[in-house]
Amino acid sequence: MFKRASLIPALTLLLLACSAPTPPAHPVASGGQVYALDIRVGGPQGTQATLQSLPPAQLTAQRLEGAPGDVQLGAQAISTVTFISRRGTQDVRHVNTTFLVTNPTGVPITNLVLLPVALNDTDGDPGNNAMAPTIAGTPFRRLQLFSGQDASAQAPQLSATRAQDVDLQTGVARPHPQGTPFLTGLDLRGVQVTPPAGLSVATQSGGWVLPGTLAPGASVPVTFAVDFPVDRQRPDTQVYSFSLLFTSAQDATGSEVGGPTDPARVVGTLHHPTLGQGARVEEQYLDFTLPDPAVMTAQSVPLAADGQVNVTLSTPPTGALSSLFECQAFVGERSQPDALATEANLQVVSAQGDPLGRAVSASLEPRGLTRLYVDRDIRVQGRCEDTSLGMTLTYLDQLDLKRGWNLIQRQSSSTDTQTTIQRTSVPAGTWSRLSFQPGAAWVNVASPAWGSDLLLRTGQPTAVPVDLRQGGAISGTVTLSVDVPGVTVSPATLILPSLSGQGLGAQALQTTLNFQADATVPAGDSSMTLTFRKDGQVVGRAAFSLTVSP
């Protein structure tokens, strides 16, 4: 969870469509005031960027325990870059500018985060506002065209982002390798900002992150960036200048920030109300050597009390490996005919074994990261298709894999007749963060196993011990029913406890069900399904091989 880094007073960042470096200047203390960063295009001296102090606006922070003091920002930009690139069907202007940030306090700042903020007029009276609000709930204000005309209507189209560069051969924008990471979906529960008079403040859930520890007196460059659509044919309609407001926070634990990714090591912090005492992370695989593939648990690692995860992946069992190419018609180049591979699945379970969800890694774009194990080195660039299932399955691969664990990005798209899976290698050390992905609400029958025999004598109840597992955050009353006329199950309702309230020794998911067949049920063998419902919706099933005798 983020803490306030006291205040880097809400800086006003004025970005213009420009491109040229300017020499850095010595940092100036922020001193609890508001700043305007002005960048001017053209003129005899070329592109200029200056940082000036505005009248105090009393935009301060409610300091949390241990929060450091203000940081310092350089008075002039180290560099400012802009370009237009084609993204899908839209032309997009990208602007980024880099400044030095310095820690002048006597304590380290850990994972400094710069968060855009929106300032909204609370009563519609501009006369009692300490400073001008931003536009339409965005962190932007003072949008102008080159002619000086107001361009406020375009504010919702502007978006803060990570610095980009452009491939000069293709014209395609891509994340700049030295660009300051920009994270979205941040946990803002610890960030509290006191707004200027007459305004309310809304902190955005994405921001620029300076990973690591900024020691007292140390400086580090931070690159701000903004994208917005433009019409190349009408330069007079393009936004020429605007201001971006932001504040600062820190994540002392690193739980939201993440870090460089090791393909074989999963590190991070998971937060969720269902992750109570005794939860653990299980490295699981499917064993394909069995007639019915079963889940194997390679290792089970307790989740730390604060949610921290530190798992070094094992060498997968042989039964979990299968062909890297799940289709036959390959076109392209590959250094090996095939390889055996498997993907890592980190299941998060409660102390009672309830499947709560998965621990997943995501890159900063944001896109999911998959850890892929292969039993040999293999390089692949090509296309592989399979039509044996009545539809077209297509793999588009750009892979450079080493024996052992690798990072890839896997993206899928489907229609009624085709599924396309794109697999791309990702370098080790790619910045990512770990998050908890809750599972769907479901009731699993751990015992008896799916398809177990159930022997009933007409008119006589049969008691069956049942071990249930709550999938996801399901709790409360569920109803039970069977699909064979004349067969009943009791009790007809169960009350599942809240996962977050279970103690380490709770056995609330173990119960006994009584099945009974009346005289209308014919003797012989059949199949029967036990169904669990919550609020009328199916939340679980178990199958039995039923035998009824007189």
Please determine, for residue 32, whether its predicted confidence score (pLDDT) is greater than 70. Answer: no
* Mean pLDDT of all residues in 300-324: 91
Q: Can you give the pLDDT at residue 372?
A: 96
Give the model confidence (pLDDT) of 138-151 as tens digits: 988 888 888 889 98
Beta strand residue intervals within 415-523, DSSP E = 418-426, 431-438, 442-447, 452-457, 462-471, 476-482, 487-490, 493-496, 510-517
Of the given ranges (64-73, 85-94, 189-198), which has the lowest mean pLDDT?
Answer: 64-73
Query: Do 280 and 238 fall into the same domain?
Result: no
Supply the range of the domain harboring residue 215: 3-250
Query: Do 160 and 62 fall into the same domain?
Result: yes
In this prediction the pTM is: 0.65
Omega into 448 within 30° of 0, i.e. cis?
Answer: yes
C-alpha distance from residue 502 to each of 300, 506, 537, 539 (Å): 20, 6, 24, 20
319: three-class secondary structure by DSSP = helix
Query: Do 366 and 462 fall into the same domain?
Result: no
CB 520 within 8 A of CB 484: no
* Mean pLDDT of all residues in 83-99: 86
Which residues have a Cβ under 8 Å from the Cβ of 513 and sit 6 or more positions away? 463, 464, 466, 480, 489, 490, 491, 530
Residue 24 binned pLDDT confidence (cut-offs 50, 70, 90) = very low
* Mean pLDDT of all residues in 410-432: 86
Query: Do 424 and 450 fall into the same domain?
Result: no
* Domain stop point among 412, 438, 464: 438
Which CATH number covers residue 499?
2.60.40.10
Query: Do 191 and 297 fall into the same domain?
Result: no
* Domain stop point among 250, 284, 314: 250
Query: Do 175 and 274 fall into the same domain?
Result: no
> What is the number of domains present in the chain?
3
CB 366 within 8 A of CB 360: no
Query: Do 349 and 446 fall into the same domain?
Result: no
Query: Do 17 and 158 fall into the same domain?
Result: yes
* Domain stop point among 397, 413, 438: 438
Query: Do 336 and 473 fall into the same domain?
Result: no
Q: Can you give the pLDDT at residue 442?
A: 87
Please determine, for residue 116, whether its predicted confidence score (pLDDT) is greater than 50. Answer: yes
Query: Do 54 and 168 fall into the same domain?
Result: yes
Residue 106 token pair: 């006597």
Which residues have a Cβ under 8 Å from the Cβ of 481 and sit 6 or more positions away? 489, 492, 530, 531, 533
* Mean pLDDT of all residues in 8-32: 31
Query: Do 104 and 119 fall into the same domain?
Result: yes
Residue 72 binned pLDDT confidence (cut-offs 50, 70, 90) = low
Q: Can you give the pLDDT at residue 125?
A: 83
Of the given ranges (5-9, 95-99, 109-113, 436-440), which has the lowest mean pLDDT?
Answer: 5-9
Q: What is the largest CA-CA distance in the chain?
A: 103
Query: Do 455 and 372 fall into the same domain?
Result: no
Give the model confidence (pLDDT) of 221-242 as tens digits: 988 889 999 998 998 898 888 8
